[in-house]
Amino acid sequence: MQAHAISDRNEDTPSIPEFSPMTRSLAQVISYITHPLFLPLLVTFLILNSIPEYMVTFKSLSKRFAFDSLYFRVGITCIGFPALVLFLTRALNLVSSVYMKTQRDRIIPYSAMMIFYFWAFYTFQQEGLAPRFYTAFFLGAFLSISIAFVSNVFIKTSMHTVGWGGVIGFLLSLMWGMHMNVSIPLVITFFVAALVATARMVLGAHTPREIYAGFLIGILCQLISCWILVK
């Protein structure tokens, strides 16, 4: 009878996957190197090296920011400043962890990221030197963070998948809006995005709903931004 009760309990209780320490460590490394803060710099690198002809005007006319220093400009705005805000809030005990494990921890960093990404979009838009699809990427990033900020009230949307969904949406925008052949980068990005989503689930950082919500937000915001600026 006791064995029967144990059997019933095991059938009714949903199984929780358990992963080895090595698997979890690998998932942690993947989460670090694919962190969404690095994605604007990655997109900038891909554009400058894959389609530099679209940045010629920016290179020749921009006096404040030279071609090579674009990396610094994007890096300091989209990585340096948000990271500084995160570490300051942690030092002041405004967040419980730099990993932002709770929805409450994400409020201030998300607010800061919204400001910095809008700043990046606004400056590129006002200068009018960068390609419109590049400016649209930052608008999409701002919109996706804004929506993730609102959705954070209800679910802890995965910022990793918001970011990689944004890269997928950006490449789809180039394919549909600019008629560029980006099939190989798109396939690679899909693979990396799936790897990132798997890593986040292995670590137990997010539920499947939070993972899928992130992808949906990232992709749609980039497509909308492309429609607004590049149409």
pLDDT, tens digit (0-9, with 9 covering 90-100), for 138-192: 999 999 999 999 998 899 999 999 999 999 999 999 988 778 888 899 999 999 9
CA distances from 211 to 22, 110, 127, 171 (A): 23, 17, 36, 20
What is the token pair recorded at 231? 């149409």
Residue 1 has pLDDT above 60, yes or no: no
Convert the pLDDT of each residue in 105-124 to its tens digit. 888 999 999 999 999 999 99
pLDDT attached to residue 13: 35
Report the C-alpha gap between 47 and 37 in whole angstroms: 17
Residues 46-67, mean pLDDT to the nearest whole number: 68
Q: Which residues contact 133 (CB under 8 A, 6 or more apart)?
A: 54, 170, 173, 174, 177, 178, 226, 229, 230
CA 12 to mean position of chain CA atoms:
37
pLDDT at position 214, please?
Answer: 95
- Give yes or no for a contact between 201 and 149, defined as CB atoms under 8 angstroms apart: no
Residues 5-23 pLDDT 10s:
444 434 443 355 677 888 8
**What's the CA angle centered on 202, arms 200 and 207, to 5 degrees?**
60
pTM of the full predicted structure? 0.85
What pLDDT band is residue 34 in, cutting at 50, 70 and 90? very high
Q: Taking the mean position of all CA atoms in its chain, how far away is CA 36?
A: 4
Which pLDDT score, from 0 to 100, does residue 59 have?
A: 62
How many residues can be counted in the chain?
Answer: 231
